[in-house]
Amino acid sequence: MAKAPMRVAVTGAAGQIGYSLLFRIANGDMLGKDQPVILQLLEINDEKAQKALKGVMMEIDDCAFPLLAGMTAHSDAMTAFKDADVALLVGARPRGPGMERKDLLEANAQIFTVQGKALDAVASRNVKVLVVGNPANTNAHIAMKSAPSLPAKNFTAMLRLDHNRALSQIAAKTGKPVSSIEKLCVWGNHSPTMYPDYRFATADGQPVKAMINDDIWNKDVFLPTVGKRGAAIIDARGLSSAASAANAAIDHVRDWVLGTNGKWTTMGIPSDGSYGIPKDIIFGFPVTTENGEYKIIQGLEIDAFSQERINLTLKELTEEREGIKHLLP
Ligand code: NAD
Ligand code: LMR
């Protein structure tokens, strides 16, 4: 028997990530090739944005996706999030050249308070929320705190692009295929303070750390390359990453819903206190997923260098949280 359609709400649907994301969701890349979807698309209440959204919808129609069971355009979160099973909060103001993420904190806090409240009021009680719009961790925290009747664990932030960037760098360094590499993770904030960590990683079951055997490369090349990749792409394209960000969002939700079969991935999730990260801070952790639930990998040794890096990214997140505290309900 055919599955009932799942409702996927996407904000910022006429933006550049939206343009890479929506077609893949409708194609079944995110929720499975047997899972019909209904797209509920939110854009700002602005003539140009709504017109652009209609254009994207015309193109989606023209793909005649067999799994697309419906599609609606919205300018109000209260209708866009109605009964949503998955909500991808992409819409936000992207950072331009020379702009710091912190500059965007206040403007985006406004958006994510409204959207958190709307999710609280009308979304499915099991809605899985992924925040992509920057600053993603803190925006997810705001949405979570604005939705007290939904389980906090349903609010996540996207660290998967950082995870995939780290994976690609490690594959290039070791000469091993991406598919052979496991047990990689990225701790902390989706910002240059993040800590991509390959100390536990294996390639074809062999330790990656021993293969690379170069702490200077880790500190001086790997960490800055992954940490500043977003800025490097803005510098090169004049626009922030879009197709790779959409791809990471697909990976994040697919793994959350369909499971990782025991393999590690990275998700930005509300801390449960693991590794000394204060409860409710949205932090990148190594996780596995099964039956629609994620679980933090426990018991990893945190050496002095790693602790220093984790403290740094935690400090930034704590400061971001303090910066928007007055805006929380
Ligand atoms: P974009 O400017 O091309 O598109 C954003 C869209 O969101 C616009 O169409 C805008 O009208 C819409 N929007 C703004 N506020 C909205 C609201 N309140 N409700 C609904 N829609 C709204 O930007 P983009 O390149 O698609 O990037 C979107 C966000 O994703 C940015 O914040 C960017 O920094 C972030 N990003 C995050 C990651 C990550 O790894 N977490 C990676 C890349 C980009
Ligand atoms: C990225 O990592 O590519 C983006 O988060 C960069 C940005 O600031 O939009």
**DSSP secondary structure letters along 109-175:** HHHHHHHHHHHHHHS-TT-EEEE-SSSHHHHHHHHHHT-TTS-GGGEEE--HHHHHHHHHHHHHHHT
**Quick one: which of 290, 264, 265, 279 has its CA closest to 314?**
279
Protein residue closest via CA to atom 5 of ligand 2: 230
Q: Which two tokens stand for residue 160?
A: 């998967």
Protein residue closest via CA to atom 2 of ligand 2: 230
List the binding residues for NAD(+): 12-18, 108, 115, 132-134
Whether 229 and 260 have beta carbons less than 8 Å apart is answered as no
Given a cut of 90, whether residue 106 has pLDDT beyond it is no
Ligand nearest to the CA of 160: 1
List the binding residues: 12-18, 95, 101, 108, 115, 132-134, 165
**Quick one: which of 76, 256, 245 has its CA closest to 154?**
256
Residue 241 CB less than 6 A away from ligand 1? yes
Given a cut of 70, whether residue 97 has pLDDT beyond it is no
pLDDT mean over 279-290: 98
Q: For this structure, is 252 an active site residue? A: no
pLDDT at 329: 76
Given a cut of 90, whether residue 68 has pLDDT beyond it is yes
Distance CA 113, CA 229 (A): 28
Given a cut of 80, whether residue 93 has pLDDT beyond it is no
Q: Which of 74, 190, 252, 326 is catalytic?
A: 190
Q: What is the pTM of this model?
A: 0.97
Residue 133 CB less than 6 A away from ligand 2? no
Protein residue closest via CA to atom 34 of ligand 1: 94
Residue 121 CB less than 6 A away from ligand 2? no
Whether 316 and 189 have beta carbons less than 8 Å apart is answered as yes
pLDDT mean over 303-320: 97
Residue 170 CB less than 6 A away from ligand 1? no
**Quick one: which of 219, 222, 183, 221 has its CA closest to 204?**
183
Angle CA 290–291–296, to nearest 5: 35
Q: Which two tokens stand for residue 108?
A: 């985006």
Specify the DSSP class assigned to residue 204. Answer: T
Given a cut of 80, whether residue 184 has pLDDT beyond it is yes
- B/e letters for 6-34, b = 16+ CB within 10 Å, e = fewer, are bbbbbbbbbbbbbbbbbbbbbbbbbbeee
Q: Which residue blocks in the chain are alpha helix, DSSP H? A: 16-26, 47-63, 77-80, 105-122, 136-145, 160-174, 208-212, 215-217, 223-227, 229-237, 243-258, 304-324
Q: Is residue 182 classed as helix, strand or coil in its secondary structure?
A: strand
pLDDT mean over 234-251: 96
Q: Find the 12 Cα to ligand 1 centroid distance in Å.
A: 6
Distance CA 15, CA 31 (A): 22
Given a cut of 90, whether residue 128 has pLDDT beyond it is yes
Q: Find the 134 Cα to ligand 1 centroid distance in Å.
A: 8
pLDDT mean over 181-206: 98
Distance CA 25, CA 147 (A): 25
Residue 93 CB less than 6 A away from ligand 2? no
Given a cut of 80, whether residue 96 has pLDDT beyond it is no
Distance CA 160, CA 256 (A): 12
pLDDT mean over 154-181: 98
Given a cut of 90, whether residue 99 has pLDDT beyond it is no
Distance CA 21, CA 78 (A): 22
Which residues lie below 8 Å from residue 210, measured CB to CB, with a gap of 6+?
A: none
ipTM of the complex: 0.99
Residue 192 CB less than 6 A away from ligand 2? no
Neighbour count for residue 234 (Cβ, 10 Å):
18
